[in-house]
Structure 1
Amino acid sequence: MLMDLAATITAGAGLAGLVMAVRHFSKGRLPKWTIPAAIGAGMLTFSVWNEYSWYPRVAAALPPEVRVVSAPEDSSALRPWTFLFPVSSRFMALDRTAMLTSQDRPDIRRADAMVVQRWQPTQRLPFAFDCAGDRQAALAGGAALAPDGTLSGAVWRPVGQDDELQRAACQEG
């Protein structure tokens, strides 16, 4: 968040510098009020761009093995323009880079779901997936998935065919 603030101030200062240069070379024909107006316009423009481009920039930087499964768009009364143009400030992705597949039962897999939120550290949540049975289990609180595909300390939860997390985990390749 501190970097966002520094970048916002820099954008305002940069645009103000540009307006001051134009004022100088035009021998003062541009009114003085354009300098603080440029600061405000630069800061506002950068803030809006930064907020609306956060999700596409972060998602594009992920390796191809990490699949985004959910990116809800939010609206807030504190930011009334988001009712017209909702913004994504968080998303969930499945990290397939370290996916483990049971040797005895190849339809049983283990992978981490990542919850990525703006201005928050990324959370990694381990999950077990039963691709043949359309089930999944959160591996939290000491739950484990044995190499033979046996689940302990958790309960399988049925999910539908349209569950994006399950689909990303069970997709081949």
Structure 2
Amino acid sequence: MFYELLATIFAGLAGGGLIYGLSRLTRGRIPHSWTIAGAALVMIAFSIWNEYNWFSRSAAQLPDGVVVVAASESRDWYRPWTYALPVVPRFAALDTNSIRRNPDVPQQRIADLYLMERWRAAVGVRIAVDCARPAQARLEQVTYGEEGAMISDSWEQMATDDPLIVAACG
């Protein structure tokens, strides 16, 4: 967050410097107040660009085997442009390299799910996935029955084409 603030300030300095340079080149035909307005506009534009590109930049930096399975769009009254083009401030990514299977119950799996949110540290959650239902539950809410089958009252039903089910079971 600190580096983004610094980048925004430097973008404003660059924008203001550009307008100031143009004012000097035109021998003062551009009012000096435009320098401040130019700096402010560049800072606002950079902040909006940074918000919209956070998701794609973060997803591109994920290691091999970690796939995005959900992205949450946000629309806010204080950012009216998000009603036309929503911003993605958080997403979930499944680590397919972490998937573990019980040979006695092959339709059930355990995997690591990472919850990423702008301005916050990533949170890792271990989940249980039942490919036969299809459903998922947090591993803390699961008990083990006969032959190692996972049992839970909090299985969350999911569609067979849900990206989490496809990534974990595919």
Report what 1:164 is aligned to. 163
Identity of aligned residues (%): 38
Label 1:86 to 1:135 Cα distance change in 2 as closer, same or farther (>3 A): closer
Distance in 2 (CA, whole Å) between partners of 1:101 and 1:15 is: 55
The 8 Å contact of residues 110 and 145 in structure 1, kept in 2 or not, is answered as no
| TM-score normalised per structure 1 | 0.84
Please, which moves more after superposition, 82-91 or 129-138? 129-138
Report what 2:87 is aligned to. 87
Question: CA offsets per residue over residues 103-160 of structure 1, 9 Å max, x none?
Answer: 333332211111111111111111112223423321126x5679x64336x4462433
Report what 2:150 is aligned to. 151
| TM-score normalised per structure 2 | 0.85
Between Structure 1 and Structure 2, the one with more strand by share is 2
Secondary structure (helix, strand or coil) at the match of 1:6 reads helix
Secondary structure (helix, strand or coil) at the match of 1:95 reads strand
Runs of 4+ in 1 over 3 A off after TM superposition: 103-106, 143-146
The 8 Å contact of residues 93 and 115 in structure 2, kept in 1 or not, is answered as yes
Label 1:129 to 1:145 Cα distance change in 2 as closer, same or farther (>3 A): farther
The 8 Å contact of residues 105 and 149 in structure 2, kept in 1 or not, is answered as no
Report what 1:121 is aligned to. 121
**Shift, 1:84, TM fit:** 1.8
Q: What letter matches 2:71 in structure 1?
A: A
